[in-house]
A and B are shown apart, each in its own frame.
Chain A
């Protein structure tokens, strides 16, 4: 291995310099305030977790986990998401008396770098988990909160695409019979390979009506009208139930007055086995990757409590990218002083801080290039020499 330069960082790790820090802080605060207004309680969990518990329960692929060993030889992971640690805490500490639980978080997560740049290996997620409530109202609340917190953060143009894991699954089972064949098709959806999906469908010996039903799935995208189209291709059973849920969800979102932000998309399969019901992704037009995602999952059961939950996670780095150049106005003022008027300068600084101004106290003898340094401040005051 070649010798590292002193400035180098591990692949995928980024520094947050003052200007970006300010922006991040501002957007995070706006999101957090919005989430708190809905009565969610923020919690923190450790950065390190056991591989066997949180690591294997997580939706993140094994190859994307940062792993290390503790002194007893247990494998640890840097938390790859916040949902599985919160499921652990909820199941072991918080889920008492079988009550609904609304939790929120803002924290860094870690995913091992797979490829070239443009994908940080450490990034911040802000999100909520709404645990132990199976109603469609709770799915609707989480989507509405996602939309309204993004709006509060200042994002104007974005869209949430909503799907349901049960619909495609049930359609496949009804038509194809076996889980194996259903999973083969689901994998094509998961891999976003519609060409392969069509080839696979055409390779099965099915009636032309059944083939058409399977191929129509790829077209099921749009507003409320899509539910009607979906009803035409699925028979009674769980598939229809998932449509009833989505119809109700649409009504819930409409009652929140947010249906302009939401579309249906039955081709969304974010994960092969993680989600158990309604699921969604959020997109902003100018960012090539989703800014957030979420859905209903049965993860809590893995930690020993019977409860399902729904939630969302927004990627702060993608959100900042979507918001473009945020003007961060520099409001810091500077008081230059020399020894003679030091006390006066300190008193002035106290007064200014009391007024809520950010104030730097700078000994004039400590600055070599005064012109360059003054430019860094919104305002300057000189208290130097004999009064």
Chain B
């Protein structure tokens, strides 16, 4: 039976930290790993294959089973609601989802508008608050929306808060803390259980050492 483990890694910010975690867990990964432009990297020594995906897409690859495991932000898991196991909090790339807007402003009474990259998270949050809002989906530079009058509020990821400050925005509410998670396809979780258990054990050892 095919035992190769396919891991979906998020490109960009989380990648470095995730890679560091895997190295600390004792996985023998080649040094040129991070500056390659390749989207698929086979590491024969570990019988692993890495695929590099957009962070927002990692859970999709894992749900469809083309990747056995993946590393994805909790923000992505909340937004996408994919049918995958969330096995381990890797405690990397910490940030949080928040509601922000121009200082001292109230929401429009008639049709309050919220711009976000996370329409599902935003809709669920405001519904729980008992507020009826209209969601506008944007793909990036969310901070623009309140500045030029597209929306009263934004829902976005905040890590240091600098982007908000630089654009003259303030945080109104904190929705949820976000860290990266180890996610696993439900079938792989059962069929490749030995390899996945080993990965989880090694990673969780590293994670608990880091925290202390």
Taking Cβ atoms with an 8 Å cutoff, the residues of A that contact B are 118, 157, 159, 161, 192-196, 221, 263, 265, 281, 283-290
Q: Count B-side interface residues using an 8 Å CB cutoff.
A: 22
CA–CA, A140 and B39, complex, Å: 46
Given A192-B85, A194-B85, A265-B190; A288-B65 close (CB under 8 Å): yes
Contacts of B181 in A (CB 8 A): 195
With A285-B2, A288-B66 already in contact, the answer to whether A192 and B187 are too (CB < 8 A) is: no
Q: Are B2 and A286 in contact (CB under 8 A)?
A: yes
Say if the beta carbon of B89 comes within 8 Å of chain A: yes
CA distance A113 to B187 in the complex (A): 21
Cβ-defined contact, B190 with A195, below 8 A: no
Which residues of chain A are near B187, meaning CB under 8 Å? 283-285, 287-290
Find out whether the CB atom of B85 lies under 8 angstroms from the CB atom of A263: no
A219 nearest in chain B by CB position: B197
Chain A residues whose C-beta falls within 8 Å of the C-beta of B64 in the assembled complex: 118, 288
**Which residues of chain A come closer than 8 Å to B191, judged between CB atoms?**
159, 283-285
A192, B86: Cβ atoms closer than 8 Å: yes
Q: Does B88 contact A (CB under 8 A)?
A: yes
Contacts of A283 in B (CB 8 A): 186-187, 190-191
Alpha-carbon separation in the docked complex, A196 to B179 (Å) = 12
Min CB–CB distance B54 → chain A (angstroms): 15
CB of A314, distance to nearest CB on chain B (Å): 15
State whether the Cβ of B171 lies closer than 8 Å to any Cβ in chain A. no
Q: How far is the CB of A191 from chain B (nearest CB, A)?
A: 8
Residues of B within 8 A of A286 (CB): 2
B89 partner residues in chain A, CB cutoff 8 A: 195
Q: Are B87 and A194 in contact (CB under 8 A)?
A: yes
Residues from chain B with a CB closer than 8 A to the CB of A281 are: 190
Tell me which residues across on chain B come within 8 A of A284, comparing CB atoms.
187, 191
Q: How far is the CA of A290 from the CA of B65 in the complex (A)?
A: 10
Q: Of A118, A193, A263, A290, which contacts B86 at CB under 8 A?
A: A193
Can you list 14 A-B contacts (CB < 8 A)? A159-B191, A192-B85, A192-B86, A192-B186, A193-B86, A194-B86, A194-B88, A195-B88, A281-B190, A284-B191, A285-B2, A287-B187, A288-B188, A289-B187
Bound state CA distance, A289 and B89, in angstroms? 24
B65 cross-chain contacts in A, Cβ below 8 A: 287-289
A192 touches B84 (CB 8 A): yes
Residues on B with C-beta less than 8 A from A157 are 1
CA distance A159 to B191 in the complex (A): 7
The residues of B that contact A159 with a CB separation of less than 8 Å are 190-191
Q: Which of A161, A221, A288 is the one whose CB lies under 8 Å from B185?
A: A288
Q: Which 9 A/B pairs are nearest by Cβ-Cβ distance?
A: A288-B65, A192-B85, A283-B187, A285-B191, A193-B86, A195-B89, A288-B64, A195-B86, A161-B190
**B191: nearest residue on chain A (CB-CB)?**
A285
Chain B: which residue is nearest A218 at the CB level?
A: B87
**Residue B34 CB within 8 A of the other chain:** no
Question: B86 to chain A: which residues have CB within 8 Å?
Answer: 192-196
Question: Among residues 82 to 138 in chain B, which have CB atoms less than 8 Å away from a CB atom of chain A?
Answer: 83-89
